[in-house]
Amino acid sequence: MRFPRSAAIFVFSALLLGSCSSSNRPGGTVAAPAAADEPKTEVSIAIPPPQPRRVIAAPRRLQAAIETLARDFQGRMGIAVRAVDEGWTVEAGGRQRLPQQSVSKLWVAMTLLDLRDQGRARLDDPITVRREDLTLFHQPIAYLLKGDQPFQTTVGGLLTRALTQSDNTANDRLLTYVGGPEAVRRMIAAKHLGDIRFGPGERLLQAGTAGLVWQPAYAIGNGFEIARSRLSLDQRTTALDRYVADPPDGAAPLAIADALARLARGELLSETSTRVLLDTMAASRTGHARLRAAIPADWKIAHKTGTGQDLGGRNAGFNDVGLITAPDGRRYALAVMIGDTRRPIRERQQLIQNVASAVADFATSAPGAAFSLAN
């Protein structure tokens, strides 16, 4: 069901007006109101009230399909599918800890919205982004900084940029606002999200993965790429091996799928915060050749991608996780994570698409058959 635009505006306005005063908010630089062209979130995904659920057996046919996809792919990877409403799970390699990369932006967003639910943050809080806040790689917000002039926005504006554009600077500025990596780790532990790590932020994570120690000069122009190119192949390989073996931002696909299912059921955040998070994920502009490319046109998707660094033909971290919803309302949380592979990007995309297709095909072949899924 799609909410009318007037209802979307009402819900988002209530979110902003219903929060606490700024004296109780986490740290963040107070600035002027956001520019008029700041991205907006439109609420459209319904969050039904919690209902008693009967957990049924996992569908053997889908389990076999997922196992085949995993077996045929060359590289370290994991897949997890969680039926939000029926409670079953299928997975292949889903219990190992794999690099999240920008998937971890979800936990920053969830920490922010949890603080909002506690009355300690507001999405309309003004916030400033300065040149010293810049990180590296994908950061469209950097183009909005004019010389030494800071960019004035809101917490909600940063949230939208971090999730829909995967803007690293927007995310790291939000991370500072909510209290840093430890605040996110406390949220993960408090909500019992399972085997999900949160790293030190984009700067330190990416520098360490490449074999560098972060320096502010890396954020300017192509400073990071130049410094990385000066390392020997052995140095970079050693650093990448170390990262893949024990990623500081590692998470089990099964834990992520379970967290997304709990989010969709309204178990992690308030109803309004849940809607804001899922609808912001639904507006994502990244990963058009991943999960989104494979679901039928009449399905809905709310997702977050993550992509790690390449070294020659090797990639460490190529992911898409999200919630897909069938026309009849049945929902499935998916996490497809490729932790280390030499397969070309098209094959990585195809694996993620094939998982989404397998779930959609299964659901379409048994519409509404909640008690025949084990057959």
Under 8 Å between Cβ of 25 and 120: yes
Under 8 Å between Cβ of 372 and 59: no
CA-to-CA dists, residue 252 to 172, 259, 336, angstroms: 23, 11, 10
pLDDT in tens, 190-243: 999 999 999 999 999 999 999 999 999 999 889 999 999 999 999 999 999 999
pLDDT at 252 over 50: yes
Residue type, 40: K
pLDDT in tens, 314-345: 999 999 999 999 999 999 999 999 999 999 99
Q: Which of 19-28, 84-93, 164-173, 267-276 has the lowest mean pLDDT?
A: 19-28
Q: Is the dihedral of CA 223, 197, 269, 30 positive or negative?
A: negative
User: 352 vs 17, which has greater pLDDT?
Assistant: 352
**Cβ density class 45-59: b for 16+ within 10 Å, e for less:** bebeeeeeeeeeebb
pLDDT at 25 over 90: no
Alpha carbon 237 to chain centroid, angstroms: 27
pLDDT at 45 over 90: no
Q: Residue 333: exposed, middle, or buried by beta-carbon count in 10 A (0-12, 13-18, 19+)?
A: buried
* Spatial distance between the Cα atoms of 282 and 333, rounded to a whole number of angstroms: 13
DSSP 3-state assignment of 333?
strand
DSSP 3-state assignment of 19?
coil
Return the pLDDT at 10. Answer: 38
pLDDT at 34 over 80: no
Residue type, 185: R
Phi-psi region of 289 (alpha: psi -120 to 50; beta: other; left: phi over 0): alpha
pLDDT exceeding 70 applies to what percent of the chain? 83
pLDDT at 28 over 70: no
Phi-psi region of 63 (alpha: psi -120 to 50; beta: other; left: phi over 0): alpha
pLDDT at 7 over 60: no
| Banded pLDDT at 49 (limits 50, 70, 90) | low
DSSP 3-state assignment of 105?
helix
How many CA atoms does the CB half-sphere of 251 hold within 13 Å? 34
* Spatial distance between the Cα atoms of 34 and 18, rounded to a whole number of angstroms: 19
pLDDT in tens, 116-147: 999 999 999 999 999 999 999 999 999 999 88
Q: Which of 15-19, 95-99, 263-267 has the lowest mean pLDDT?
A: 15-19
Q: Please name the residues in contact with 83: beta carbons below 8 A apart, sequence gap of 6 or more.
A: 89, 261, 330, 331, 332, 373
The widest CA-to-CA distance across the chain, in whole angstroms, is 63
| Banded pLDDT at 53 (limits 50, 70, 90) | low
Question: What is the residue whose two structure tokens read 């085997």?
Answer: 195
Return the pLDDT at 54. Answer: 57
